[in-house]
Structure formats: C-alpha cells, structure tokens
Amino acid sequence: MREWSADENVGVGSGLGSPRVVVGVTSAQTCLVLPSRLKALREGGFRVSLVSSPGTMAARGSEVEGVSAHEIPMARAMSLLKDAVAFTRILCLLRHLKPEIVEFSTPKAGLLGMLAAWICRVPVRIYFVRGLRLETVPAFMKAILLWSERIAAACAHTVVVNSRSLRERTLLLGITGGEKVVLLGEGSSNGVDIERFSPGPSEVRADFGIPVGARVVGFVGRLTTDKGLPELLEGFAEVLREMPDSYLLLVGWFDASEDALGTRLRLRIEGHPRIVCTGYVADTAPYYRAMDVLVLPSWREGFPNAVLEAASSGVPVVTTTCTGSRDAVVPEVTGLLIPPGDPGMIAKAALRLLRDGELRGSMSQAARHWAVTHFEQSRVLGEMVRFYRHLLTNSANEMAAENAARPATGWTASL
C-alpha cells in the first residue's frame, strides 16, 4: 500500500491552474452524499463535472454552484445493451470535457468510467472504492462483480478506499496490488459537519407523537436487507418485550434495489404502532437528537456516514463487525460492535445502552470528541483536495520528464 502524507502535498496555489475533474457514480441516490465533496473540489480550484444516472436525488449534486451535471442512465444490474450505450456516452463525454483527473466509484460507473478514462488516457485516474457490493450477492454474481472491480482498478493509477477494513478486504480479494491502494487519513469519503450534527434539542419526538420519556432506537439509511432491516425488526421486537415504552425511528426510504425489502416486511413496518418510518429526509440532523441509540446492523459498508453523524450528534452506536462498519466505532468507548445477522445481539446491545444512562452519557461524550477530532468535514475534504493536487503535480512532472527524454527527431520511445 502506498502511504501519503499531507506534508508532502502541494497547495491550491500550485501553479496547476484550474484542472477539470469528473466525478462519476452509478445511482442518483449516491449524489445525496456528494455535495460537500463537490463543493470542496470546486473551492480547491477544480472545474467540477458530475456524472450519474438521472433521478430526483441527482439534483443534490447539480445544485452545487459551479458544478456541471451530466445525466447518463446506468443500470445497476447487468445489461449488455444498456451498458454499451452508457459506456459510449461516458467515452464521448470524457473526450469532450478532456479532464485532467477523474474519480469514478460504485460498481457500474466504476467499471464503465474507468475503462473510458483509460481509453482517453486521462492523466490522473482514480477509482474510489466506497464499499464492496460483491460481499452480499450470490456466488455467480460475486465472481462477475469481483472481475468488474479488478478491471476498474487496473484502469486506475490510484485506488482510494475509505476505511482500513475496506483496504484489507480489497487487498485480500486481489482487486489490486498494495502499491495502488491509498487510505486518506482515518478514512471516510465525506467527513461530518460537526456544527450541523451536534447535540441539542429536537422537535422530532413531538412531531411524531413520541413521549418525552420514551426510549428511542434509531436507524438512518436505505431500508433494505443489506442494511440489516429484517434483523433490526426482530431485535426491536425483543427490545419491546423488555422495554414496552420503546420506539423504533426509521429515518430512510424503501429502496427499490436488488436488496429491497419484501412486501411483508414493508407492511409490518408501516402498520406497527411503535415504529415511526419517516421516508426520505433532506436534513437528518434533528432526527439523531431524538434518538437514545443508533443501530446500524449492516452486512456491508465502506465507512458509514450515518455512524459518523450519530457520533458527532453525541449518540452512541450499535453496529456490526462487517467491512467498513467496524472502523466507525471505538468498541466500548463510542459504541458497541456485534456480529451481523443476529437479532438477539442487536436486542442485547440496544437494551444495555437503553438501560444504562451513565454508559450512554459517557459514550455520548466520547463519540462527539472522536468525531470532532478525526472526522471534521473540512479536515477530511481538505486532505482529499490536497492529495488530488499532489497526484496532478506528479503526473505533470512525469509528463515533462518524459517529453524531455524524447529524442530531438520526435521519435517516441515505447514504454
């Protein structure tokens, strides 16, 4: 693995001008976590273009001032015809924009975008691994996704991962060699806005009729099987038997994806008197303040934003030992780690925190301190911008050295 120190980088005023960066993701919903990242790149001196599938959530990225948005439909599932069309459109877009740097992430955009960037010989090609979908799919699909990841990584100069365990998993699966893999700082692709996500009062309980003294177990994210919703429902049923005044606050939407919840579970959620399901929420900050504990029983992550936001809000977290999630908690200090797929452990961990106010209080303070110290958003995104500038400087220097080494006849030595 290549190590990179912020002390080795170049600043914004490095003489590189205003290079074009293209940021590409598959799904419009991924754009929900991109605005701060896109804004940081723009303020860092980049001309920024966003590529994603069309959708109402894609507007979050295109609303960032100075960012141009390009909608290219990309099917999350395998579809040779649709994939060929999407690839051709990405290739044409890159040839038109002529970016100095690209950052593609998520499986389909990663594969198509990195291939197109390699063909176009984009000077700096970054494959950003936000998580590994292959961890929760059947064996046949896993093999396809694994090779997709390997091809995307092979087309990249640098593979950036956003957590330590994701780096370990990437290397273990042979997606790429250690010389390409980079982890910036402590991880996280976005950091957390510590002013927005902070402890304080909230009107959420009153808005949903939750009594002031009731205990609230919270969840924030897509309501899907990969996020552990079936196990969370079973675990909460056990919590209710022990603490009948408890509520489950689900802040998220029913995602129509491969891991979508079945009709039976949806009806169970929507008809349960002690489960509050909000649907999509633009500003989740007040909702964390209404929780006593956040539970994220996910089967796979990269570095979960919800856990960072909860920690910054002073909310203890119960999450799993799966890839990515285990990096987002300091065990027994900011929260608790449990194995995935175990409703009994979800209930046990949640009840432990709900019953012990002193433990919740100490974890609340520790979580806030940990988030502020390591993941303050301007620190995380600033490091990303400086690293990208560093890559551009290295690329420019290598190109200059290569040009200087060419014979005066104009003949180009083969590599």
397 band by pLDDT with thresholds 50, 70 and 90:
confident
Taking 50 as the threshold, does the pLDDT of residue 374 lie above it?
yes
**Residue among 189, 226, 27 nearest 108 (CA):** 27
pLDDT tens digits, 202-211: 999 999 999 9
Tokens of 285: 């900050």
Taking 80 as the threshold, does the pLDDT of residue 87 lie above it?
yes
Q: 162 versus 11: which is more confidently predicted?
A: 162
293-296 and 275-277 strand pairing: unpaired
Q: Which long-range contacts (CB under 8 A, 24 or more apart) does 163-168 make?
A: 163/187, 163/188, 163/301, 163/302, 163/303, 163/323, 163/324, 163/327, 163/328, 164/327, 165/323, 165/324, 165/326, 165/327, 166/129, 166/131, 166/132, 166/302, 166/303, 166/323, 166/324, 166/327, 167/1
pLDDT in the model for residue 80? 86
What's the burial of 362, exposed, middle or buried (CB within 10 Å: 0-12/13-18/19+)?
Answer: middle
Tokens of 286: 């007040």
Average the pLDDT over each of 80-84, 102-106, 411-415 and give the range with the smallest value.
Answer: 411-415
d(CA 75, CA 59) in angstroms, rounded, equals 19
pLDDT in the model for residue 58? 62
Q: H helices then E strands: how many in the chain?
A: 14, 13
Contact 53, 27 (CB under 8 A): yes
pLDDT in the model for residue 410? 36
Q: How far is CA 37 from CA 153, 363, 379, 384, in A?
A: 21, 29, 12, 9
**Residue among 375, 393, 334, 50 nearest 188 (CA):** 375
Q: 216 versus 400: which is more confidently predicted?
A: 216
Q: Kindly state the percentage of the chain with pLDDT values over 90.
A: 81
pLDDT in the model for residue 158? 97
**Residue among 96, 42, 44 nearest 72 (CA):** 96
pLDDT in the model for residue 7? 47
At 342, is the secondary structure helix, strand, or coil? coil
pTM: 0.89
pLDDT in the model for residue 200? 94
pLDDT in the model for residue 132? 93
Place of tokens 């990437």: 170
d(CA 31, CA 347) in angstroms, rounded, equals 33
13 band by pLDDT with thresholds 50, 70 and 90:
very low
Taking 80 as the threshold, does the pLDDT of residue 269 lie above it?
yes
**Domains located in the chain, CATH noted:** 6-191+376-392 (3.40.50.2000), 204-375 (3.40.50.2000)
DSSP string of 348-362, one letter each residue: HHHHHHHH-HHHHHH
62: CB partners within 8 A, 6+ apart: 31, 50, 68, 69
Place of tokens 């929507």: 270
